[in-house]
Each structure stands twice: as structure tokens, then as C-alpha cells.
Amino acid sequence: MAMQIDMSNAQVLKDESGRPFIVVRDQGKKKRQHGVEAVKSHILAARTVANIVKTSLGPRGLDKILISPDGDITVTNDGATILSQMEISNHVAKLLVELSKSQDEEIGDGTTGVVVLAGALLEQAADLIDKGIHPIRIADGYDQACEVAVAKLDEIADEIRYSPENTEELFKVAKTSLGSKIVSKAHDHFAKIAVDAVLSVADLERKDVDFELIKVDGKVGGALEDTLLVKGVIIDKDFSHPQMPSEVKDAKLAILTCAFEPPKPKTKHKLDITSVEEFKKLQNYEQTKFTEMIERIKDTGANVVICQWGFDDEANHLLLTNHLPAVRWVGGPEIELVAIATNGRIVPRFEDLSPEKLGTAGIVREMTFGTTRDKMLVIEECANTRAVTVFVRGSNKMIIDEAKRSLHDALCVVRNLVVDNRIVYGGGAAEIACSLAVEDAAVKSPGLEQYAMRAFAEALDSVPMALAENSGLRPIETLANIKSRQAKEKNSRLGVDCMQTGSNDMKDHFVIDPLISKRQQLLLATQLCRMVLKVNNVIIAGSDDNEF
């Protein structure tokens, strides 16, 4: 196979024996971008990424099909999922991926909105750079505008009242979060599950929610409406022997992480058996040890055994004959959840087993699905009532995965309201109110920053415009009407009527967002813009000569 070498970048040298070899000097070739050109190239890359997720914003947003290198297909409109699975080579565009990830980890919802806002801010910054304004002055103006916008959010925020007996307001907010998801046809059902799950594990006095106590599991089959909330734990296992009872009431669980087998020598020595008598002695020894283990379990009063490791047919038969239903190969995270839910202790050695370390549950039963042989173990009425499991059903794996992501967003929204019960109205209403406030502040600003503040206000308008565009409305006309009405009527609840019901008052439609989610979007997007605008020099590997 012939190879072409650019000899202008190559040099012929000789080794000690006089044989020639070629050194191709290509590693040192770098192409540099300086100053404003570098900043504008970053902005272009980030804007391209933001435009990809822009069409997924709102209740009428479109889904994306993501195909992994292995051929796995994901269908989603969740901003964080789309960006995390995209192959992005530009390092500045990767910052948008980190932006959506931080919004997802901190807040859980609003991952698409924060990227759209950041993309709009950078696009406005590019126009200002073309006019000759220094990037640092733009960043300073954005910071001032962000302070004004956050203050406006605090001003227009409403408080919602809820209690374990009155969850209607929380239910409405969870419904808003699920309105743009694939589960929207069953959003009442999922919203109720999200509220019940969060309130089951929430500490309302400390305003804290431990998500570790909420497990979300799924199984293909059934419809989305068959999704259920279990006050306990579901394990994707069944009892180790088909003749064991499929239901145990008033269960006392022995939770073991030790192997259900006779002890083996933990040395490098091996045991040689040379006669039938020796083999029989070994067999009797194993039988005695198995019997001792069973007796230890029975002496504690346990009537269900949960084991992290497997056990052979002999141990399984002994458990069956001694009426001890057992579950084997239960994974580490699941066994910890069982221990938390049942208030049991994980026992690493049979010698440590005692009645005080047993977990308690009202019922342990096997759950079957339709005509399949699949079974799962359900542990209900646990001693610790705060542990819950959401069991998602769906027609295929893609729908179940997307339903899990949707449910995560709804759980996070309800969690945020437990932490801070202040809300603002969605449909772009909060962004338009902040935009008007920033425009007013820009008029009073004396310096160059007023241009950046006006650009910030225009960037805020991009969110309601994207909502209108995705809903099939005329974006500019819709935005102009709502903005003028908000200014005239002093009503910060007016937003884009995405579902085209005839009213722009978001309070009537219960389109609600937690205040901390909106505030975080503004702060994170502004921080990212400052970071990008401050980068003025990037070295990119290329083929041209360096210019120093």
C-alpha cells in the first residue's frame, strides 16, 4: 500500500549503522485563534448545541432518538440525557453538557431551559462583540442583569401551602413537570405517585428528602397506567425453590452476606481424598455444618432468609425441608435497601446472628406478571415505613427508561418544594417578567453595561419564543402580545398558552415551577457565559504553521 508523506514536514536522518529513516514533524503544528475570533468561535459551537435541544422545550416539545455506538436506542426529550449521550468534540460546547448536568444534579428539572437560555445569552454576546464591546464588559453587564432578574423572581414568587393531608398544590406542580414528557397521557397517575413517594420519605421539620429511600424499578409489560407505588421494597428475584411458599406473613428476615456453605481452608494447602471413608467423613462434616447453620437461623426466630451469595442444591433442600423460604444472589445495594426498610442488620457471619438483628415486615410475597414465568419479590408493611419503591410498567424498554427519567424530574420538583415552597409561573411568564425588569434597569444604567443588560433581556425572551414556536404559534407576535399585556396589566402570571386553551394566565392552568429551579437556571447560565467570554486564546491542533 503506497503512502504519501509531505516531505516539507519531514527530515531524513541516519542511525548508527548508517541506515536512513524519516522523521515526520507534525506534532508541533498548531493553529492559534486569538482574542475576539476565539470567543466568537466558542459562541458558535455552544449556540449549535443549544439549538439542538431548543425544539424539546415545553409541553409540545419534540423527542430525539439517540443511537449509541453499540446500537442501543434512546428516545427522550430530557435535556440532560440528550446532551450527555451526544458526541461533542468542541471543548466549549462540552461546557453546556456540564451545565445541564449540574442543573440535573442540583435541581433535577429545567435542564433543557438552562441550556436554551445559556445559548441565547452567548448569541446576544456575539452581536455585542461585533459592535466592539469588550467581552469582560459584556460579562459584567450580564452579572448586573442577573441580579435584577433574580430579585424580580423573589418579588413575583407565590407560596404554596401543603401538608401530608392536603397535597393538591404539590400534585399540580408535579403535573406541570410531567406535561412535556412521554408519560403525559398518564400524568395524573405519575404525579400522584411522585407526591406520595416524596412525602413518604420526607422529613418535613428539617425540610429534607432522602432520595436513597426511593427506589425506581421497572419491568417490560403492561401499560404506563399499571405503574404502582409500593410502601416497601421490590427485588428482581424469587424464592430459591419452586416449592417454597409464595407468601410469608409477619416475616422476620435474616439478612446474610456470608456464603451458605461449609467453611473452606483459606490457605494454599489442598485436601486429598484417597478413600471412600475419607469422602464420607467430608460429606458428614458438610452435612453437620449445614445443619448447624439452619439451626442458628431457626433459633433466632427467622422465617425468611435473604442471602447475598448463592447456595447449592443441598443447602436449598435443607432450607425447604426446614420451612425456611430463602432468596439468593441479592445484590449489595438491594440488600442494603432491604435492611433499611425492615430495620434489620446485615449479618456477615452465622456466629453473629441474633433475634435483635432480624428485619421485620408485614408480608413478603412473590409477584407474577401475566402469562410469563417472571417473578419479583415484594416486601411490604416494613418496620421502616419511609422506604418506598416505584414499580414502572410499559410496553417496551425505551418507554420504561423514559418513564423513569420523567418520574425522576417529577420527584425532584416535589422535593424542591419541600425544601422551599415558593413558586413562580411557567409558560415563559417568569422569564418575560424578568425581561421587563432588566429592560427597566438597563435604562437607568449609565455605562456600557446597559447594552449587555438589554441583550440579557432579549435572551430571556428566547425561552417564551421557543415555547411558542414548539407549540405551533407565531413566536414574535405571541411574545409581543404577552409582553405588552404584562407591562400594562402588571400581571406576572401571563405566559405562552402552549395548549391553546384561550387563556394566558398560567395560574388558571396550574403551570407552576419551583422558584429555586428558575433562580438556579439564571445563575448557572450567567456563570457559564462569563466563563466562555473570559476565554480569549485557544490552541487547536491543525496543519498550518504557528503564528507567534
Same domain, 80 and 197: no
Same domain, 410 and 456: no
- pLDDT average, residue stretch 137-148: 92
How does residue 308 score in pLDDT terms, banded at 50, 70 and 90? confident
**111 noted as active-site residue:** yes
Q: Which of 111, 176, 227, 526 is catalytic?
A: 111
| pLDDT value, residue 458 | 92
> For residues 264 and 267, what is the distance between their CA atoms, to the nearest angstrom?
9
Q: Which three cell numbers stand for residue 464?
A: 417564551
Q: Which of 76, 78, 497, 526 is catalytic?
A: 78
Judge whether 19 lies within some domain. no
Residue whose cell numbers read 425453590:
241
| pLDDT value, residue 350 | 82
Judge whether 37 lies within some domain. yes
How does residue 383 score in pLDDT terms, banded at 50, 70 and 90? confident
| Domain boundary pick from 364, 396, 420 | 420
Tell whether the model's pLDDT for residue 35 goes beyond 80: no
Tell me the CB-side half-sphere exposure of residue 203, using CA atoms within 13 A. Answer: 7
248: β partners: 364
Same domain, 395 and 516: no
Domain that holds residue 491: 31-158+425-541
Average pLDDT of the residues of the chain: 83
Same domain, 410 and 357: no
Phi/psi of residue 328, nearest 5 degrees: -115, 165
| Domain boundary pick from 403, 420, 437 | 420
**70 noted as active-site residue:** no
The vertex-316 CA angle with 315 and 320, nearest 5°, equals 115
Judge whether 168 lies within some domain. yes
Q: What is the CATH number of the domain that holds 42?
A: 1.10.560.10
Q: How is residue 7 annotated by DSSP?
A: G
| Domain boundary pick from 357, 384, 411 | 384
Tell whether the model's pLDDT for residue 434 goes beyond 90: yes
Quote the number of domains for the chain: 3
Q: Lowest-pLDDT range, 39-43, 239-243, 298-302, 513-517? A: 39-43
Q: Which of 55, 76, 81, 112 is catalytic?
A: 112
The whole-angstrom distance between residue 93's C-alpha and the CA centroid of its chain comes to: 20
How does residue 5 score in pLDDT terms, banded at 50, 70 and 90? very low
**112 noted as active-site residue:** yes
* Cβ atoms of residues 142 and 452 within 8 Å: yes
> For residues 56 and 116, what is the distance between their CA atoms, to the nearest angstrom?
10
- pLDDT average, residue stretch 57-79: 85
Give per-residue pLDDT as tens, 435-449. Answer: 999 999 988 877 788
| pLDDT value, residue 11 | 59
| pLDDT value, residue 32 | 46
| pLDDT value, residue 142 | 92
| pLDDT value, residue 4 | 45
Q: Which of 196, 409, 461, 497 is catalytic?
A: 409
Give per-residue pLDDT as tens, 463-491. Answer: 999 999 988 888 899 999 999 998 898 88
Tell whether the model's pLDDT for residue 30 goes beyond 50: no
- pLDDT average, residue stretch 495-513: 82
Same domain, 246 and 333: yes
Judged by DSSP in three states, 311 sits in: coil
Which residues have CB under 8 Å from 42's CB, separation 6+?
90, 92, 122, 532, 535, 538
The number of residues in the chain equals 548
**26 noted as active-site residue:** no
373 or 104: which leads in pLDDT: 104
- pLDDT average, residue stretch 259-286: 77
